[in-house]
Every structure is written in C-alpha cells, then in structure tokens.
Structure 1
Amino acid sequence: MSAPQPYIDALKITETLRVPHPKGLPLIDLSLNESPFAPPQAVLDAICQRAARGNKYGDPFSTDLRTALAHTYNLPIETIICGNGSEELVDLIARAFVRPGDEILMSQNGFYQFQLIAHRLGAKVIRAPESTLTADVDSILSCVTDRTKVIYLALPNNPTGTMPTEEEIHRLIDELPSHVVLVADLAYGEFVGFDFCQRLHDRVADHPNLIVTRTFSKAFSLAAYRLGWCNVPVAIAAVLNTLRAIANVNALAQVAGIAALEHRASIVENIDTLNLERTRVTQGLQSHGYRVEPSQTNFILVTLPASDPRDVDDWGAYLYAQSGIVLRRVREPGLQHYARLCLGTPDQNGLLLEHAGKFITDPSSAN
C-alpha cells in the first residue's frame, strides 16, 4: 500500500537537549539571543490578571494591542498586523508573494529562517555576497531579477550582528524595483535605537513594497509569549489578514505587549545596560586574543585566537563544564569557526570573561 507523499522534502532539524549539569551548576543559556532580564512587574501583573479569565478567547484582531502600537509609534492602525512572533509574519509575507520557481533574495549570511521559508514554498534562494560579514546594498541590487519576489534583510543581522549604514538602507528602499517586496526585519532594531526603527517605519507610507517587522521577544523580554507585529502598506495588510490564523495572537501575549509598551522606560534601561555590556564583553574577550566581530545587537560572534589550535567546540565544552554557560556553535557555511553568544546579566558576563580568560591562559585546563 502506498503512503501519502508530501510535496516538500523534510529537513534535518537539530533539537537542543536540556539536561542537568553534571556538577549541579545552574545553566546559563547564552545560545538563544534572549534577554537576561525578566519582564517588568507591571507586565507580569497584567498577564496574571488576564490568565484568570483563561476560559475566554482573546481578541482575534488584537485591536487594543494594535491601538497601543499605533499610538506608541505614530502609525495608522490599519497598517499594523500582529502575529505569533515575527517569525509567523515573515512566513505569511512569502506565502502571499512567492510561488514555486520564484526567487527569494537574502544576504550571504542572512537569518536561517529566510532559507527555510524558501524551501517550504519551492522557491529559489539567492544569496547576495557580503562585505566584511555585512549586507552590501550594491550586491543585493545586482542580484535582483524578474523572478525576485521578496528580499529579506535583518537589520541588524542574525547571526553576524551587523548591518549596512542607515544611508545605504534607505538607498536600497529608494532604488529597489517596485515589483520586489523588501522586508526589513527589525528583531534587533531596538539595540540600534528606537529612532532608527522609527525612520524605517516612516518610509512605509510612501513605499508600497516595504514591510517592517518587529518583535517583543528580544528587547522587550517577552520571548515566551511569541508576539510580533509588522507595519505594512494598507493593500498588503488586507492580504496578510486573509492568510493569518483567525486568532493568531493569544490573549496573554496581547496584554503583555500592551503593558510592555506602557512601561517602555524600563525596557530602554535594559537596552542601555546590554549595549554597555556588549562593549565590556567584547573588550574583555579581545584582551585575551579572541576575535569578536562588530555587533549592534544583544549578541556577539566570537572565534578563538588565530594561534590557538583548538576549536570553538572545545571552548564551548570548557565553558559549560566550568561554569554552566551554553553557547551556540554557528553551523552556517563559512561561519563554522565562530560561536554566537548573547549577553547575559553583568554577573553572568563576568563569569564568562573569567573562564574565557582561563581557557586561553591555561590551555591544559581545557583538557
């Protein structure tokens, strides 16, 4: 008897195992680019209050949340779509515009999900060469063809932490052919600055092919609630509303997002702390000979000194054994000699620097 045949080939998905540390140390997971800070207490209170009515559905249109976003960022409410994380929204955009054989364009080391989206839809991935691990606007424009339907550009990028200059980003918006949708993914945009994000939002009204996506997972400390949103031209908003699930944002995420916007001052404090910690950790690692790529995010890309014969897996194993710190070995082609680590609390970062130094100064301790 023949079995059902899917139209898509399965990809190997690596699952991260979580087991108790052999020495009983608490795990310090710096592998997922999460915020080390809990949400503000007012956000937790709003979640608990709404959870008491867990038998009632949330608003399928996220109206109150969209209203709060429109007020906070000075945007027309009809241009805002909320989603189950920005991951859902970037997927919906491709489903709206891409068919088998079409092209999705991304930078050489762009976010892995963009490649996965293309695979789901039978589209061809075009990777524009980068300059010093940074998306290059001229390279992107030169790769555009009649088959290009969507360009995904993470600003800043994951896993590299880099992005073009703001002037170059706006030049891409201006020079891109009108048949191509440009998705500016600002998952880490707040670490560059809210003003930077706002200037990109301001371009949407006059560019019918520009979409800006945002998330509450990173700077807003709401990763567990899977809440994202996008600012789109009105015509595209109607299409995405047709494609999204009827009630795609759960009620707890909606109230969490509203409360987080009302207490943005504490979010800004956390961002400022992490940006300062990024400088401290970068300089600390560099003082021991590590190569750290420039970053504008809450994570950094690190590799061992050129003279060190060991591998970043050895470094990761040592940090885990000695301190319970978990890093992410980068697997993307061309970046396999790097580890990516997000910034923890100042104490966690201090522990990282302590053991990163010991790994270099006492190589025998890593054996």
Structure 2
Amino acid sequence: MTSQPQPKSWIASIHAYVPGKSVGDDGRPLVKLSANENPLGTSPAALEARRHGAALAPSLYPDPDSTALREAIGEVHGLDPARIVCGTGSDELLNLAAQGYAGQGDEVVYVRYGFSVYDIAARRCGATPVVAPDNFYATDVDALLACVTDRTRVVYLANPNNPTGTLTPRAEIARLHAGLPSDVLLVLDQAYSEYLSAEEDDHGLELAQTHDNVLVTRTFSKIYGLAGERIGWGYGAPGIIDTLNRIRGPFNVTLTGQAAALAALADTDFVVRSREHNARWRLWLAGELAQLGNHGVTVVPSHANFLLVLFEGAVSAEQAYAALMQAGYIVRWPKGQGLGHALRITIGEEAHMRAIATVLRDLVTA
C-alpha cells in the first residue's frame, strides 16, 4: 500500500522541457539569444490588434474553434479551414499527435538531435521513444525508415530541424512518407518554415492535403514574433483533425492571441523584413565563425533563425558559453540533448551578431 497518489511509471522517465534562459547564473539580465525569438519584435499591426483584443470583455471565453483565424490561415495557404486546428503553440499539437495515436506498447520515432518535445510527447502517453541516427546533424531518411517496426505509430520530423537548423529536401520528405506504412502518422514540424525560400519548401502541406497519415504543424512564435501568445496550428486529413479536436483544450487560444495572429498573418511586410534580416545576419555570422575552423569551430549549415556551432578544439562549448555570458549574452548550450560540444545561437540584432563574433574570435584565437 502507498500513502500518496502515484504517477504512472512512465512519467518518471520524462525530463521536463528546459526553456532558453534569459538571465545569468548570478541573476544578471542578459541579451537573450537562447530561444529563437524574433529580434525585430512583433508586427505593429499585431500589437495593435492585441491591444484591441485585450479591451474585449475578459469575462467571456474566446472562440473555442478559432474560426476566423483558421479561415485566414486557409486563405493564405490555400487550405480548407475545416482541416486546420489551432493550438496553444504548436507544442500542444505535437503532444496531442502522440496522445491521439500512440500509447503503451507503441513506439514513436524521431531523429537524433530532434526537438526535445518529441521525447516528452512519446513518454507522456506511455509510448517508447526510438531515436534514429543522424547524418552529420541532419536527418537520415534511411535511418528513420530502418527504425520503423510494426509497433511504430508516429514519426516526428522537424524541417528545418531544431536545434541543428538542417533542412531535409522535398524529395527526401516524399521518400520518407512513401516508405512509411499507411497506419503510421508522419508529423512534419514546420516551426521555421517561413524562413525558407519557395524553392526550399518541402511540400509538406501538399502531402497532408492528399494523404490520410500526414500532420503538418506550424507556429506564430518565430517569424511572426508572437511567442508570448502561444499560438500554433496544424493541418491534416479530416480524421486527424477530428482526433486532435477531441482531445485539445476547449478554449486553447486566447482572445488576444487570436486577434494578434490574425493581424500578424496579414502583415506580410513584417514577415518579409524578418526573413531578410535573418538571412543576412545568419549568413554573416556563419561566415565569421567559419574563419575559426582551424581552431576547431564548425558551423552546421542552417535554414532556420539560429546557428548550431560546434566547439571541438582547445576551447570547449562550455568555455564559449561562459565567455558569452560574461559579455552579456545568453545562448543555448544543449548538453541535455547530447550536444555538450555545441551552442545554438539565435540570430539577433546586427550589434549582437557582431559582438558574438568578436567574443568567440577573441576567445578561440587567444
């Protein structure tokens, strides 16, 4: 007999998600480059809409189905709004995918160095996470397919991937899907898709439009600059959307969140400026750090709004992390994901990128 409620056995195996830090170990506020937030902030139109939404009666529940937002998303992307579901960030939908389709005795597959939420999503519903080998920090489709068994229920793939920034080409996505059994759900996590050019698009939405076992998730947290509002959306076959609607929170997107997301979606100028700023300073910082290759510094090619930088020389990632913190910057040191030798650095403002490059150059060449 136990003297208190006991959690399910698999809950104890979950390592809680660790968010990006914004203060130093001494509590000192730092420039936050650890959470892939938009350095340009938020669209002025979205901010104004958010203020208007906050003026509405807070005693009233928001639209439980995010109807206007789903219709606007559908119009922008040429999708049927009935096949769109909104969530409390795309994280909610990623978790619901596992909850809806996997459980004890089932397996959930994802690539090594994938988004840490996938492991949590698998374990919280009692499923077994299965980690496929990577190909120099990128997705290896053959390795993923080799991990699929008759117990596999869900395969997660972020594209571009977080925390590596790597991109799986359109043809490889199609090959992965074609190699999966029809009863396995492929979840394409496209949190950073708006940073891609049209030529880089993996056509995941088209796959989801024509197949019953594909769910695409997206977020307003990154390029739209609405991370604090927690708004995501997913698109898939009617059966998938029906499943997620049955188990999601009933009022999961707030009044202000729906209003802000609607306005952000319409402010294409802000999205273009954010994409162009990111492309420019990602390329610049990658070029600066590539010059440190003789000192054991390697930059993984990125298609997102961050760089994964490897430290495999005399200077360790821990030392680089400490030096940046001393200089007033906090980045992500993803040691809990098997990347103790790496730092993930969000692309920030010009002054911040120049400072990061200077600190790291001075550190490794000293």
Q: Same fold (TM over 0.5)?
A: yes
Partner of 1:321: 326
Q: Does 1:292 align with 2:313?
A: no
Q: Note if contact 1:83-1:89 (Cα within 8 Å) is conserved in structure 2.
A: yes
Q: Note if contact 2:169-2:202 (Cα within 8 Å) is conserved in structure 1.
A: no
**Equivalent of residue 354 in structure 2, options 350, 357, 363:** 350
Partner of 2:252: 248
Q: Which moved more, 1:112-121 or 1:51-60?
A: 51-60
Alpha-carbon spacing, 1:165–1:16, altered in 2? closer, same or farther (3 Å): closer
Instruction: State the secondary structure of the residue aligned to 1:295.
Output: coil
TM-score, with normalisation over the residues of structure 2? 0.92
Q: Which moved more, 1:194-203 or 1:243-252?
A: 194-203
Q: Does 1:218 align with 2:222?
A: yes
Partner of 2:32: 29
After superposition, where does 1:1-367 map in structure 2 within 5 Å?
2-7=3-8, 8-9=11-12, 11-13=14-16, 19=23, 27-53=30-56, 54-193=58-197, 196-197=200-201, 199-289=203-293, 290-304=297-311, 306=313, 308=314, 310-322=315-327, 324-332=328-336, 334-362=338-366
What number of residue pairs does the alignment pair up?
358
Cα distance, 1:58 vs structure 2: 1.3
Cα distance, 1:213 vs structure 2: 0.4
Cα distance, 1:351 vs structure 2: 1.3
CA distance in 1, matches of 2:353, 2:176: 37
Cα distance, 1:163 vs structure 2: 2.6
Report % sequence identity: 36
Alpha-carbon spacing, 1:129–1:23, altered in 2? closer, same or farther (3 Å): closer
Residue type at the aligned position of 1:320: M
Cα distance, 1:12 vs structure 2: 4.8
Cα distance, 1:174 vs structure 2: 2.4
Instruction: State the secondary structure of the residue aligned to 1:329.
Output: coil
Cα distance, 1:144 vs structure 2: 1.1
Cα distance, 1:333 vs structure 2: 5.1
Cα distance, 1:138 vs structure 2: 1.4
Q: Note if contact 2:21-2:32 (Cα within 8 Å) is conserved in structure 1.
A: no
Alpha-carbon spacing, 1:72–1:154, altered in 2? closer, same or farther (3 Å): same
Residue type at the aligned position of 2:283: T
Cα distance, 1:334 vs structure 2: 4.0
Instruction: State the secondary structure of the residue aligned to 1:277.
Output: helix
Cα distance, 1:281 vs structure 2: 0.2
CA deviations 1:123-160 (Å, max 9, x no partner) are 11111112121111112112211110000000011111
Alpha-carbon spacing, 1:196–1:233, altered in 2? closer, same or farther (3 Å): farther
Q: Which moved more, 1:144-153 or 1:268-277?
A: 268-277
Alpha-carbon spacing, 1:3–1:318, altered in 2? closer, same or farther (3 Å): same
Q: Which moved more, 1:129-138 or 1:224-233?
A: 129-138
CA distance in 2, matches of 1:157, 1:27: 26
Q: Note if contact 1:73-1:198 (Cα within 8 Å) is conserved in structure 2.
A: no
Question: 5+ residue gaps in structure 1?
Answer: 363-367
Q: Note if contact 2:22-2:32 (Cα within 8 Å) is conserved in structure 1.
A: no
Cα distance, 1:20 vs structure 2: 7.2
Root-mean-square deviation (CA, aligned residues, Å) is 2.0
Q: Note if contact 1:214-1:229 (Cα within 8 Å) is conserved in structure 2.
A: yes
Residue type at the aligned position of 1:36: P
TM-score, with normalisation over the residues of structure 1? 0.92
CA deviations 1:245-294 (Å, max 9, x no partner) are 11111111101110011112221221121011111001111223321111
Cα distance, 1:304 vs structure 2: 2.8
Residue type at the aligned position of 1:40: S
Q: Which moved more, 1:55-64 or 1:251-260?
A: 55-64
CA distance in 2, matches of 1:325, 1:91: 31
Q: Which moved more, 1:210-219 or 1:32-41?
A: 32-41
Instruction: State the secondary structure of the residue aligned to 2:85.
Output: strand
